[in-house]
Amino acid sequence: YLMILSLVPPSTATTWTIETTPAAQESVTNTNDGETPAELPVETLGLALDATTEAPPGARRVVPLTITTSTAGLSSLVVIAPPGFEFPTNCGINCTVATSVGSGGRLSVRLGLSLPPGTSVQYELIVRTPTAMVTLVATDPTAPVVFDRVWFIQGFDADQRPMGWGDAEGFVISSMPDCQVTYAGLPAAVGIVIGIQFTLRFGGGKSLV
């Protein structure tokens, strides 16, 4: 049998009592004697990144992360990016590109960082932004489009046991606005002047492709 329950676990170790009784509830027909241990709940890790900025699609970008733990001591961290983000081989200090997570197009990296309890660390993660943001599926077709830009983090102890989870909303991927290409629509015309107009949202470019 499989039972799925929704509950709020305590922060201490617990055991579960599972019993079955007949409809009249006169006697117990099956019991585990209250000896089934429950998994300890993991800590909520603090994760922060600058969600007020924007980034162009398909660009290499440094993402500053701030990771905080209160009670759990961590020996490594796994960062899970929003769908479409990629990680270069040199993704940062003590950073190893891990595997895909689930079927939603998320990739992850493992950071070899040690965090004692009650500490905070800042880390610069190198990513490549997606060419297009993935949208969340809405049950209401009239609802506004919502982009999936949530980052997740998971912390592990020295024995690779999960000790905490955290999440934070990331930055927006913005394409170049106000792009227009105009020319005379004459078939087989030679020497036609083409006009290209655009607005720069981000500075620092040195070439036009």
Kindly report, residue by residue over 104-119, the tens digit of the pLDDT: 778 999 999 888 888 9
Q: What is the 3 state secondary structure string of the chain?
A: CCCCCCCCCCCCCCEECCEECCCCCCCCCEECCCCEECCCCCEECEEECCCCCEECCCCEEEEEEEEEECCCCECEEEEECCCCCECCCCCCCCEEEEEEECCCCEEEEEECCCECCCEEEEEEEEEECCCCCCECCCCCCCCCCCECCEEEEEEECCCCCEEEEEEEECCEECCCCCCEEECCCCCCCCCCCCEEECCCCCCCCCCCC
Q: What is the pLDDT of residue 145?
A: 47
CB atoms within 10 A of CB 172: 13
- For the segment 123-134, the average pLDDT, to the nearest whole number, is 82
Q: Which residues pair with 125 in a beta bridge?
A: 63
Q: Tell me the per-residue pLDDT of 30-41, one tens digit each, with 9 for 90 and over.
A: 888 888 887 778
- Bin 92: left if φ > 0, else alpha if -120 < ψ < 50, else beta: left
Indicate whether 135 pLDDT > 70: no
Dihedral sign for Cα 105, 66, 124, 116, please: negative
- Say what the pLDDT of residue 95 is: 93
What is the spatial distance between Cα 31 and Cα 53, in angstroms, rounded to a whole number? 56
